[in-house]
Every structure is written in structure tokens, then in C-alpha cells.
Structure 1
């Protein structure tokens, strides 16, 4: 079987209506599959004015906005509906790819099992950790059980880092998990993108040590730990500036808890690459990410990284070589340890340059073409295994 024989039905909880790291990876995957000659149909909630144009054919799923402060821009796909089922039948996929464990994905899984079609699920984030950031930590065990049941009904999982795979195996989410890593666009993210004039226009002196936050401003990105760490740096009188790149529903909270922070707003493309490369140290306190695209992008820009020693970053950052991995204290990164790691970079430009250069070298290993071809190989393997099983069952039935 060749990639051009693939007919992939991809289900996403957010394919293009709000930009995030997961849907950027999914759109790149679809583009790679189309380049290989595969047929792809994407099913996801949609909105009248999405954040960007989708790659490939997109079919809208029934959905509603999440009724929660700070999450209202996201939608939950409620199911398939008769029209979507008819579209699926016409498309006749030979593999389903589920990227979000929402009600529509559960329905799609049942639809595929009824037709003996193999299913691959990709893990993009630590969904079970989200409730703790909204005062609902008590439901985490329930979500873990739900995820375990959902994922184990799939034929295979893929996750973006070995640290995430190890965690999923330990949680018994599945016993067959492959790697679908992430790539980085080296034309966008490069130390050559550093823009001294832009940096000065933002109030950063040439000799300032600018600590960068990059991402959607939502609490599960570790905004509380970031803000508390900066307070520690100020108490220690460590010279630094803070550059925040991104926007989101928690912007007001972050700004009020990060006095003096420079908020550059939401950026994409070359403007994003220039803003990131114009920083000096990247700080990622999030423990919810399965990979951490922003961490890899910062490394590609030759910024040393201080990150929580959790899934995702633990597989990217080489502690003491490309940055520092900070141990967890309870369910989040240790604030004091974060401050100590950042202080060492703020005070030592030579150390920043050395660890940043090592990170930039490591980032060269992440090629989108090779990474996405591995997913096509997983699809082909699952289809071949299912067809072999069907043949054996037919022979046994006589």
C-alpha cells in the first residue's frame, strides 16, 4: 500500500477557528498527506470568521461554545449528526484519525468500529490537568478514566515526545504508542530574525536580558507560576525585562500580576519569528503540554530555555546544555528553582549564548517532512494489519 491509497478522515476539536500549537501541527500533517497523494477530509467545529484558512477539505461538526470563563472561544463538538454521517459514507475512509477526545470523536470511533475501520488517536495536550486551573481539580480522576477508556478503544496512539509516551504508558492509556514529533519552520524561527530596532521600539535596551513568554494567555499555560517567578527575581534584584508575545482571555489577569511586563500582542509568521528571536531567555512553566511547540521554536531562535520538567519539555530541553529543566513542586514548577535558573542566565550573557547556540543546533533535527511521513507509515501499517485480520477471519469462517 502506498500513501496515495490512503483515505483519511481526521477529527479535530479545533482545526482552524482559534490558532494553537495542536491545530498548526494538524494542518501541516494534512498538507503533508495531500503532498503524498492521499485523500483527506477534516471534520471539526467551525465559526464564521476562523483564525486562518484550513488546509484541505473541512466539514463542520455540530458544536457549542464552552460555557466557562476564559474558555468561551473554544467549542465542543457534540456528535456527528446525519449530514456528517452521510458525508463520511460518501468519502469512504480507510483510516480515522482522532485528535481530541470530545463527544464527536467518541461517535466517530463507534462509527469506525461498526465498519471495521482502524482508528489512530493523537495526544496533543494533557487534557486531564486542565480542571485544576479552573477550580475543578476534583474531577481529574473522572477525566483520566474517560480518557483511558477512549484511548484503549483505538488501535494505536501517537504522542509527540518520549516523556509523554512514558507518562501515557504509566497511566495505562494504551500499550501501543508511536511517536509523532513536531517540526519547526527554520525560515520563520532563526537567530537571524533578531530585530534590534523592533526590540528597542518595545522599550528593551540592547543589554537588557529579556525573559520571553510565548503562547495563548490562558491559565493552564502556567501564567501563575510565571508571574510568581518574576516576583522572586525582583525581590532578588536580578536585572531583567519581561516580553510577552501572545493574547488570550487571561491577558488582563496576567498584566495585573506582571507589572512592568511588555505585552507585544498576538503575532504570526515573520513578525512572530522576529519577536521571539529578539528575546534573550525563554521561560515555559507549563505542565499541560505534550510537546511544547513554543519551546522548540525558541530553541530554533537560539534562546536558552527554562522549562518545567514535565512531559514535552523534558524530551526537548537538555538540562545544563540547552537550558534548565525545573523540578515540579506538587502539580506545578517550583517557583524558587525557576527564579534561580532564570537568574543565572540574566546575569551571565556568555552562558545565554552558549546554551542558546546548543539549542539552535538541536532544533535542526526536527524536519516536518520526515516527521509527518512517519504518521503516513502508521496509517498504512494499521490498515495492513486490519486487512490481514479480516482475511484470517474470513478463512476461518470457511
Structure 2
């Protein structure tokens, strides 16, 4: 059995795919008998990100972080994020001559350009510096690997997919609560998620939004016909998926989109742009459609999508399978 240390600047109470992936992976590793230590921000003082107030950045004393890593005596170190904790653990490993792995979860260059008008090149330069020191960099999809390689990332790249809780995300009877077809979005309600492309579609039926974020109040006022349900989790989230007819994923900047495979597992075809994540997952008409015109993608997904095929595809994304990928990708510290 191995001792695995995971360093992450993203953790509860944040609700996003990064937190879900890391938390579930740690849980599965522990079930298999490994010892896992998660160095995460709730143990330290923190400050809110100015243009992203729901997210807080840890401001730890370096010595506290170094002592925690040293006392744990890890066999493997995985650095999941490029924030303050990730940087400190990276520095510790470099100083000790330890190997470590990283993972590329978030398109920070594109987010910073959208939210704060920061040019892409300096952020990508920083990310190359951060990840190129790793023994392995994990990415979720072939298209992301191809893109990062083209951008000059040199660390060895390995695949780490994502999983679905099939006890929650499964086909269920559809209630007649809303006019059909019911189009569903699940995720952060913020402008970098491109949600407005979904809300402004001229399409019959009902638009449901599950999630919250800084743009919610503005978008509720602007699109009064849409129904904003706020956060849902567990069975309530599973019921929201299963009540819909199509899942709409308008983001152009995600690296995977766990919500896409949750929708499939719930029997929903997916409509999306041909961006990283959807183009790797929605590979045939029975699963939905990707198109540069989101309205066209919705119509195609509704007409050709096969709920049984979607559910079968979604069921292939298990947390056990992707946790095995993660563990096999880890590099020994020595």
C-alpha cells in the first residue's frame, strides 16, 4: 500500500469538477487501502479572489506546509492546482529532489482573459514552467493533450479520465412538471461558462439552470422565462438531470466537463460546441451533437439522441476505472 499526498488549492465548500474529482479519487484510494493526505486550503487562512469571490486562495506560512509534507512521508506527491499550495509543495519537492506529478484541470489563461482581460501568453508561460518540472502531467482527454503539446508543454502526458456516481446519475421516470422539451444546464452560473449562449436560444420548451454563481441575478432578470433552481446535490441533482430531455453544455473553455458524463449516465443526449471535452465524449449521434451553432446541436441531439445508448455510455465512466488510471500515473518521490 502507498502513501499518497495530494496538494490542491480547490476544495470544499467549492462545488466544481476539480473538487469532485480529487475528493472522490482520494476516497477510492483509501477504500483500496492506501493512505492519502490532502493538503487543501481550509486548514489555512485565505483571501477571496477579487473577480471570483466564491473562491478563496490559501495564504499559508511555507513552514507549515513543508512540515506537513515532511511528517506525512509520502511515496507519491500529486500537485493538482497551480495556486499557492501547489506552488509551495512544488517548491518543497524541487528543493528535496523529489519527483511529483501534476494535473491540468482548468483553462486559467482563457478564464483570466475573459474575467480580467489578461493576455493568454503570460499565463501559459507560467503554466508551462509549473507543469514541465513534473514527472507526469495528467490530462483528461486526447484533444487537451494535443492542444497543450502544441502550446509547448514538455512534461510527459498521461490520461486521467473522470467518473460518475451511477447510484445517483441514472435514468428515472420523467415528471410532467415543465413544458417539453426540457433543456438543462448544470454548472457554475458565470460568464466564463458561456451560459448566456444557452439562455438566449430561440427554442420551444423549458430552460432549466442548476447551479449558482456571480451572474445568476443578472441572468435571471435578463431571461425571466428560464427557471433557475440553484445548487442541487445527491438525489436532488440526479432527479434534475433525469427530468430533462437534453443537456446543453455551452462552455468553450472547460477541459472535460463531468456534467457531460453525468447527463449521459442519466439518459440525456448532450448538445455542445465542438470544444475540448464534448468532442472527446460525444462521438456519435446517439449520444447527442456538437456544432458551432448551439441551437442546431440542440435540435440534432433531441432528434437523434438515444437515451439507452446515452445511459450505457455514461455507465462506462466509473470512478474505480479513472482512479486506477490516476494511481498508475503517479511517480515515486525517490
- Shorter-chain TM range is over 0.9
Q: In the alignment, does 2:98 pair up with 1:117?
A: yes
Counterpart selection for 2:316 from 359, 362, 365 = 365
> What secondary structure, in the 3-state scheme, does the structure 1 residue paired with 2:38 have?
strand
In the superposition, the TM-score normalised over structure 1's length comes to 0.80
Cross-structure match for 2:64? 83
Deviations 1:146-202 (A, max 9, x none): 00111101111011111211212111223411111011111101112x441xx51xx
Cross-structure match for 2:213? 248
Deviations 1:248-279 (A, max 9, x none): 22111221232200122211001100111101
Per the TM alignment, residue 79 of structure 1 is displaced from its structure 2 partner at its CA by 4.9
Quick check: 2:7–2:86 contact (8 Å CA) kept in 1? yes
1:262–1:374 Cα change, 3 Å: same
Per the TM alignment, residue 84 of structure 1 is displaced from its structure 2 partner at its CA by 2.4
Quick check: 1:95–1:117 contact (8 Å CA) kept in 2? no
Quick check: 1:43–1:61 contact (8 Å CA) kept in 2? no
Counterpart selection for 1:177 from 157, 164, 185 = 157
1:255–1:155 Cα change, 3 Å: same
Quick check: 1:80–1:107 contact (8 Å CA) kept in 2? no
Q: RMSD of aligned C-alpha atoms?
A: 1.8
Counterpart selection for 2:7 from 5, 11, 20 = 11
Cross-structure match for 1:72? 53
Quick check: 1:307–1:313 contact (8 Å CA) kept in 2? yes
> What secondary structure, in the 3-state scheme, does the structure 2 residue paired with 1:117 have?
coil
Alignment of 1:149-298 (within 5 A): 149-192=129-172, 194-196=173-175, 199-200=176-177, 204-205=178-179, 208-228=180-200, 230=201, 233=202, 238-298=203-263
> What secondary structure, in the 3-state scheme, does the structure 2 residue paired with 1:252 have?
helix
Cross-structure match for 1:29? 25
Cross-structure match for 1:390? none
Cross-structure match for 2:128? 148
Gaps of 5+ in 1: 47-59, 328-336, 388-398
Per the TM alignment, residue 307 of structure 1 is displaced from its structure 2 partner at its CA by 0.9
Gaps of 5+ in 2: none
Quick check: 2:101–2:136 contact (8 Å CA) kept in 1? yes
Taking the aligned partners of 2:300 and 2:67, their CA distance within structure 1 comes to 59
Taking the aligned partners of 1:11 and 1:368, their CA distance within structure 2 comes to 20
Quick check: 1:213–1:282 contact (8 Å CA) kept in 2? yes
Quick check: 1:290–1:312 contact (8 Å CA) kept in 2? yes
Number of residue pairs aligned between Structure 1 and Structure 2: 334
Quick check: 1:195–1:275 contact (8 Å CA) kept in 2? no
Q: In the alignment, does 2:89 pair up with 1:108?
A: yes
Cross-structure match for 1:393? none
Taking the aligned partners of 2:158 and 2:245, their CA distance within structure 1 comes to 34
Taking the aligned partners of 1:378 and 1:120, their CA distance within structure 2 comes to 8
> What secondary structure, in the 3-state scheme, does the structure 2 residue paired with 1:306 have?
strand
Counterpart selection for 1:39 from 35, 38, 41 = 35
Deviations 1:55-103 (A, max 9, x none): xxxxx244321122xx111012345522222222211222211111013
> What secondary structure, in the 3-state scheme, does the structure 2 residue paired with 1:321 have?
helix
1:302–1:116 Cα change, 3 Å: same
> What secondary structure, in the 3-state scheme, does the structure 1 residue paired with 2:12 have?
coil
Quick check: 1:8–1:38 contact (8 Å CA) kept in 2? yes
Q: Which has the higher contact order (CA 8 A, sep 6+)?
A: 2
Flag the structure with larger Rg: 1
Counterpart selection for 1:343 from 294, 299, 323 = 299
Per the TM alignment, residue 104 of structure 1 is displaced from its structure 2 partner at its CA by 2.4
Taking the aligned partners of 2:105 and 2:61, their CA distance within structure 1 comes to 22
Deviations 1:299-337 (A, max 9, x none): 11111111121111111112433111123xxxxxxxxx1
Higher helix share: 1
Quick check: 1:156–1:174 contact (8 Å CA) kept in 2? no
